[in-house]
Chains A and B, each alone.
Chain A
Amino acid sequence: MSDSSNQIEICFEINGRQVTQTVPVRMHAADFLRHQIGLTGTHLGCEQGICGMCTISVDDRPVKSCLMLAVQLDGAKVRTVESLAPDETELHPLQAAFKRHHALQCGFCTPGFLMLARSFAGRRMNRAEIAEEISGVLCRCTGYEGILRAIEEWLPGTWTDASLSDEAGQ
């Protein structure tokens, strides 16, 4: 596909299901996920790449979805916060750790932190490294302490035999 037109059809995988949709080219990925796919768990704060509210996983890397066009999702594997909990009643272990450690107050930033922290699975990180790695999401309520504690507690549970032999990871 190399034609230009102001609407383009894209086909991508979202939280495990394959979707084909026509999108306006000027629409960013966060608006697309919220308004066209109906996944409103991805939040928007600044729309200029600063706050990290819109963090999602694209091809297994956390990125800011306000800085991607929806058309760039074509062919990608996309995960949003909605992919975490197995069902309506059960939380993902990372979400459960956030709950236990009061890692949220208003909760507006939580989807961003969850999708960023989720990508740390299998890595061995000390507190300073975690703090460094989460610097791309802002929280105006908690002071970050609970967020750091929740991630610290959840991380060891993600260390599998494979990840123990490969500590580098991304």
Chain B
Amino acid sequence: MKASDFLYHRPESVPQVLGLLRDYAGGARILAGGQSLMPMMNLRLWRPAALIDIGRIPDLERLEQKGDVTILGPRFPYWRIENDRVIAERLPLLARMVRKVGDRQVRNRGTIGGSLVQADPTGEMPLGTLILGATIHAESIRGRRAIPVEQYFLGSYATAIEPDEMLVAVEYPRHPAYFSFAEVNRRHNDFAVVSVAVAGDRAADGTWHNLRIGLGGVDETPVLALAAMRRGEGTLLQAPDIAQMGILAAEHIDPPDDFRASADYRRHLTRVHLTRVLGSMLASAGFREE
């Protein structure tokens, strides 16, 4: 099908975008990579009155380094997350996870800002951004605010971004030293049935700290497995710890029952894959040597 008609704007600055968003009062959408917006419009599931193309605004693809903090502009593209040396060093979890997003062509156009506003419950960047404890910066004519990622995802495809707001930056704090990620798909590069990502630091005595465990595809939004995180914090992540964390994570979710997988199967996958990714994070820390 073809998109229904709309007005097209291609502003040259963020203040112009914010003015347009206010003028349309919720009727306009920002066009970034178009990899979610265009399918929705071609299918006529969405019929925005206007599109605001941010493709020409300079500086929205920026990457800033401030000490341990890394800041990405809203239009920072997937392909750079995949290939950029600075990202490989500073946000390696995202570089690993982005390879599972769509296919080559999708990654050539899709952006970090678009994926976080789209907020697909199975999305890789939403899950990675949750695990890394990022701060989302949003701006409107009313002002600018910082939203902690834990308060950002509100539901399936719903976020704390208001209709008159633009996501203007994503700020990632120091990346933990170790991480691992796994995802189960029905078809190659399909949206995930279940995805599991973990990150953490290991002290000299072998205990694990700042553990973050995130699950995708098991709820309306990506979620932190808080019970499992608490169970693992400060432990050596020995086999019994890991086994219990897997059970806790599976117990505390209420996954959907749909054509991709049943709720029970998702719970099973969560337990199995959490124990596996914790094992592989441990292996990446070379714990056997010490």
Interface residues of A (CB under 8 A from B): 1-6, 8, 25-28, 31, 47-49, 52, 55, 61-64, 66-69, 71-72, 116, 119, 132-136, 168, 170
Contact = CB atoms under 8 A, between A and B. Distances in A.
Given A26-B3, A28-B38, A136 B103 contact: yes
B207 interface: no
Contact of B2 (A3, A31, A67): A31
A134 B31 CA distance: 26
Contact of A2 (B12, B34, B35): B12
A64 B35 CA distance: 9
A62 B16 contact: no
Given A4-B50, A63-B108, A135 B189 contact: yes
Contacts of B105: 52, 55, 62-64, 116, 136
A52 B7 contact: no
4 smallest A-B Cβ distances: which pairs? A136-B103, A25-B8, A67-B38, A4-B7
Given A47-B42, A49-B106, A135-B188, A67 B35 contact: yes
A42 to B, nearest CB: 13
Contacts of A63: 105, 108-109
A135 B103 contact: yes
A2 B5 contact: no
B279 interface: no
Contacts of A135: 103-104, 188-189
Given A26-B3, A48-B42, A136-B102, A2 B16 contact: yes
Interface string B94-122: 00000000111110110000000000000
A28 B2 CA distance: 8
Contacts of B16: 2
Nearest to A6: B5
A28 B3 contact: yes
Contact of A64 (B11, B50, B106): B106
Given A25-B51, A26-B3, 19 more contacts: A2-B10, A25-B7, A26-B2, A27-B2, A28-B3, A28-B38, A28-B42, A47-B1, A63-B108, A66-B38, A68-B34, A68-B38, A71-B10, A132-B188, A133-B104, A135-B103, A135-B188, A136-B103, A136-B189
B43 A48 contact: yes
A69 B8 CA distance: 10
B83 A67 contact: no
A49 B39 contact: yes
Contacts of A67: 34-35, 38-39, 42, 109
Nearest to A61: B108
B268 interface: no
A69 to B, nearest CB: 7
A27 B8 CA distance: 11
A68 B34 CA distance: 7
Contacts of A28: 2-3, 38, 42
A68 B5 contact: no
A70 to B, nearest CB: 10
Contacts of A2: 9-12, 16
B6 interface: yes
A106 to B, nearest CB: 21
Contacts of A1: 10
